[in-house]
């Protein structure tokens, strides 16, 4: 492993969206905590992403949608569906975020682990955004790596509390990408396009149920599908005190989840790119804790003690 640990981060992710359940300040808080108290603070280098180009975006999204975003021409209905106030800053952050996940994939392919302190906007579809997700950085990054012939097959392990509807729809007929989503069944989005494997958990499912399901399915998917890249969508919202989630996981359970996914990547020698995705705990501190734990757990497993 290289001496320096490159983590992707941009201060521009902290878009002002007013009084909103989505804590856009969390990215900066995670970064500050990594700088302040992690064992790895002297080795971490924060890398600023470049915005994704039109070519990158258009490998996933429709030109008409991208034009509307760039020119401030979304309709009221489209903005309503997005559930975020439209601004130029929001569009800029979304383009940067796609570039950030692309960079995390590149780092994963060279260093085995690539972490983006951002991303995971799995509700964005080719022709529209929804559920706080403007552009699907996961799909943009995977398509970019494939266009550059860096990988032929990718696996998305989507552990956000919500179903990965946009990602599922984008890759519905694409055999080169296996989409796996484990989520709360009775929650947004109510229409769930089929992933290659969907696990819809009951309300208030516990650590035990969640982890048993991961242990049952993920190794089998990997050994059958043999991906060359694992994209881990590490949502913090399965946490029991999430404002919009309805699962009942503890922080310890979420660390076990992270450890398991990382260990799969290690055991099968698959480069792993990690994106943060959702997290809306009543206490912002808890959301930051969970994302921080995901990052530090990965660093410990891949880099050992510093």
The residues of the shown chain that bind Zn ion, judged by CB under 5 A, are: 160-162, 235, 237, 278
Q: Are 137 and 100 in contact (CB under 8 A)?
A: yes
Nearer CB in complex with Zn ion: 166/235: 235
CB of 160 to Zn ion, least distance (A): 4
Nearer CB in complex with Zn ion: 146/214: 214
Cα–Cα distance, 291 to 131 (Å, whole number) = 20
CB of 243 to Zn ion, least distance (A): 11
Cα–Cα distance, 177 to 220 (Å, whole number) = 15
Nearer CB in complex with Zn ion: 132/303: 132
Give one DSSP letter per residue of 245-290, joined into a string: ----B-HHHHHHHHHHHHHHHHHTT--EEEE-----BSSHHHHHHH
Give Cβ neighbours of residue 274 (< 8 Å, ≥ 6 apart): 104, 113, 114, 115, 116, 232, 234, 294, 295, 298
CB of 237 to Zn ion, least distance (A): 4
Nearer CB in complex with Zn ion: 53/250: 250
Residue nearest to Zn ion (CB): 278
Give Cβ neighbours of residue 144 (< 8 Å, ≥ 6 apart): 52, 56, 59, 102, 105
CB of 278 to Zn ion, least distance (A): 3
CB of 235 to Zn ion, least distance (A): 5
Nearer CB in complex with Zn ion: 137/237: 237
* Cis preceding linkage at 266, omega within 30: no
CB of 280 to Zn ion, least distance (A): 8
Best CA proximity match to 119, nearest among 41, 13, 32, 192: 13
Nearer CB in complex with Zn ion: 166/278: 278
Nearer CB in complex with Zn ion: 95/276: 276
Cα–Cα distance, 149 to 154 (Å, whole number) = 12
CB of 233 to Zn ion, least distance (A): 9
């Amino acid at each position: 492993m290289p001496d320096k640990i490159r983590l992707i981060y941009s201060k521009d992710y902290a878009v002002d969206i007013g009084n909103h359940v989505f804590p856009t300040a969390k990215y900066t808080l995670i970064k500050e905590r990594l700088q302040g108290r992690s064992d790895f603070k002297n080795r971490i280098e924060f890398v600023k992403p470049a915005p994704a180009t039109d070519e990158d975006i258009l490998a996933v999204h429709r030109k008409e949608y991208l034009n509307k975003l760039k020119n401030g021409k979304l309709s009221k209905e489209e903005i309503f569906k997005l559930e975020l106030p439209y601004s130029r800053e929001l569009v800029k952050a979304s383009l940067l975020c796609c570039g950030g996940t692309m960079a995390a994939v590149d780092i994963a392919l060279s260093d085995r682990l690539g972490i983006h302190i951002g991303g995971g906007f799995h509700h964005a579809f080719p022709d529209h955004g929804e559920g706080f997700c403007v552009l699907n950085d996961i799909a943009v990054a995977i398509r970019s790596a494939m266009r550059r012939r860096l990988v032929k097959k990718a696996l998305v392990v989507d552990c956000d509390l919500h179903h990965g509807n946009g990602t599922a729809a984008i890759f519905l007929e694409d055999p080169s990408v296996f989409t796996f989503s484990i989520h709360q069944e009775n929650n947004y989005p109510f229409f769930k396009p089929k992933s290659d494997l969907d696990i819809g958990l009951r309300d208030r499912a516990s650590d035990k149920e969640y982890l048993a399901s991961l242990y049952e399915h993920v190794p089998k998917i990997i050994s059958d599908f043999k991906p060359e890249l694992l994209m881990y969508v590490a949502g913090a919202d399965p946490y029991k005190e999430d404002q919009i989630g309805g699962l009942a996981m503890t922080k310890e359970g979420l660390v076990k989840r992270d450890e398991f996914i990382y260990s799969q990547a290690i055991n099968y020698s698959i480069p792993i790119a990690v994106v943060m995705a959702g997290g809306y705990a009543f206490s912002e501190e808890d959301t930051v804790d969970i994302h921080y734990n995901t990052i530090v757990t990965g660093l410990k497993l891949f880099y050992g003690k510093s």
